[in-house]
């Protein structure tokens, strides 16, 4: 089994300083992700169509992967694929996978389903159902409805018996603007099997696809932790979990010094790898002096949502000798649930002491730790 990876585009819509296939995504160049997956699946050789003059950056992106061949891409995607297929002519592989580099996540199960389908058909493509209602556009107005039950979203890689798809490309008559290789194969009269695709095969297209990389990481759940400390001082208000508590002393610090919310904010930011509270609300910035910490928590929840996740469960532990937390626990849970927009059943608040040991044991300050889980939203 051989492979052709199309990586010859400019990728300008992705808003990257270089073509998106060479931009870093989840710690590696976009191109490297799918090529590694293809190599692990046993594809060899792997022909990669790249922009003219991009040999050096392409070689750096794929350093250490064996069986790679670079060719210059054509004016269209179809031209690039044709060039890649022709480059395999001397190898004469039985099967070939044709993949778009802009789809970095390539599950091995999809490859298995494709190659299994080639035992009965000359071609196979991964597809996903259409879940939204569909209509045709009549200018700016709604036109005729489309039956979503009969529609599928098409992904890559697409798999073919090599002689059949090479012949189909060679026989193509007309402008080389086919949307994908299945269309080329269908024009040649080949039957194309449909196999189940995978949402992980999301195509990176826009700048937001790079700014929200966690979404494409394929992780159904993530966990973050947070910890914070503030000292107790005379003349300060005491805010814990968004609730004002009558006490002889309050917490000193930037904003309202709500140590519990600060720990929770760090836990949520950590869950989506978005830094820490100090990066988003610098203590040196006077605009946050005396600010209500619920603003920080609301901001963290919004960042979680922007990365494609939703707040799951949070667990906050307050560490102090006084005040007693029990009488305020219900109000604290309700307040945190309201700020985050979650059910109160997902919010845990508890307290412990250090048996008179350390700064909390001497009532010099209050500490808080938090754990937050977020789920693919």
Domain positions in the chain are: 2-215, 220-376
Are the beta carbons of 337 and 193 closer than 8 angstroms?
Answer: no
Tokens at residue 282, please?
A: 């610098």
Q: Residue 27 pLDDT more than 80?
A: no
**Which single residue is written with the structure tokens 């692990």?**
40
Helix boundaries (H) for 200-351: 207-211, 259-271, 277-280, 294-306, 329-340
The proportion of the chain whose per-residue pLDDT surpasses 70, expressed as a percent, equals 94
DSSP state, 203? P
| Mean pLDDT for the stretch of residues 115-124 | 97
More confident residue, 207 or 297: 297
Bridge-partner residues for 163, per DSSP? none
Convert the pLDDT of each residue in 252-273 to its tens digit. 987 899 999 999 999 999 999 9
- For the domain spanning 220-376, the CATH number is 3.30.1330.50
58 in helix, strand or coil?
helix
Convert the pLDDT of each residue in 284-322 to its tens digit. 777 887 788 999 999 999 989 888 889 999 999 999 999
pTM: 0.60
Which fold is adopted by the domain 2-215? Spore Coat Polysaccharide Biosynthesis Protein SpsA; Chain A (3.90.550)
| pLDDT band, residue 360 (cuts 50/70/90) | very high
Burial per residue of 247-256, b for 16 or more beta-carbon CB atoms within 10 angstroms, e otherwise: eebbbebbbb
Average pLDDT for the chain:
91
Highest mean pLDDT among 130-139, 208-217, 224-233, 286-295: 224-233
């Amino acid at each position: 089994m051989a492979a052709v990876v199309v990586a010859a585009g400019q990728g300008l819509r992705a808003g990257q300083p270089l073509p998106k296939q060479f931009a870093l995504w989840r710690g590696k160049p976009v191109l490297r992700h799918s090529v590694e997956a293809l190599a692990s699946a046993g594809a060899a050789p792997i022909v990669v169509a790249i922009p003219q003059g991009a040999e050096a950056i392409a070689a750096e992106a794929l350093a250490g992967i064996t069986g790679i061949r670079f060719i210059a891409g054509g004016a269209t995607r179809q031209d690039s694929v044709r060039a890649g297929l022709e480059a395999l002519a001397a190898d004469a592989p039985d099967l070939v996978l044709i993949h778009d580099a802009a789809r970095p996540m390539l599950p091995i199960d999809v490859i298995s389903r494709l190659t299994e389908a080639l035992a009965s058909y000359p071609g196979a493509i991964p597809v996903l159902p259409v879940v939204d209602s569909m209509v045709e556009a009549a200018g700016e107005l709604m036109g005729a409805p489309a039956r979503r039950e009969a529609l599928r979203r098409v992904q890559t890689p697409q798999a073919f018996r090599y002689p059949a798809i090479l012949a189909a490309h060679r026989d193509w008559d007309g402008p080389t603007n086919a949307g994908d290789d299945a269309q080329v194969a269908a024009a040649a009269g080949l039957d194309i099997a449909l196999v189940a695709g995978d949402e992980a095969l999301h195509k990176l297209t826009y700048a937001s696809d790079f700014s929200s990389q966690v979404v494409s990481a394929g992780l159904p759940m993530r966990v973050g932790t947070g910890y914070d400390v503030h000292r107790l001082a005379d003349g300060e208000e005491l805010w814990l979990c968004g609730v004002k508590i009558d006490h002889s002393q309050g917490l000193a610090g930037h904003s309202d010094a709500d140590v519990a919310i600060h720990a929770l904010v760090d836990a949520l930011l950590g869950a989506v790898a978005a830094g820490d509270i100090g990066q988003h609300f610098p203590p040196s910035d006077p605009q946050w002096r005396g600010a209500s910490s619920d603003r920080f928590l609301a901001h963290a929840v919004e960042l979680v949502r922007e990365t494609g996740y939703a707040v799951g469960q949070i667990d906050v532990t307050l560490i102090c000798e006084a005040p007693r937390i029990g009488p305020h626990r219900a109000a604290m849970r309700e307040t945190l649930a309201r700020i985050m927009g979650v059910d109160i059943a997902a919010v845990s608040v508890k307290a412990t002491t250090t048996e008179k040991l350390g700064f909390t044991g001497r009532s010099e300050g209050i500490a808080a730790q938090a754990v937050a889980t977020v789920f693919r939203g």
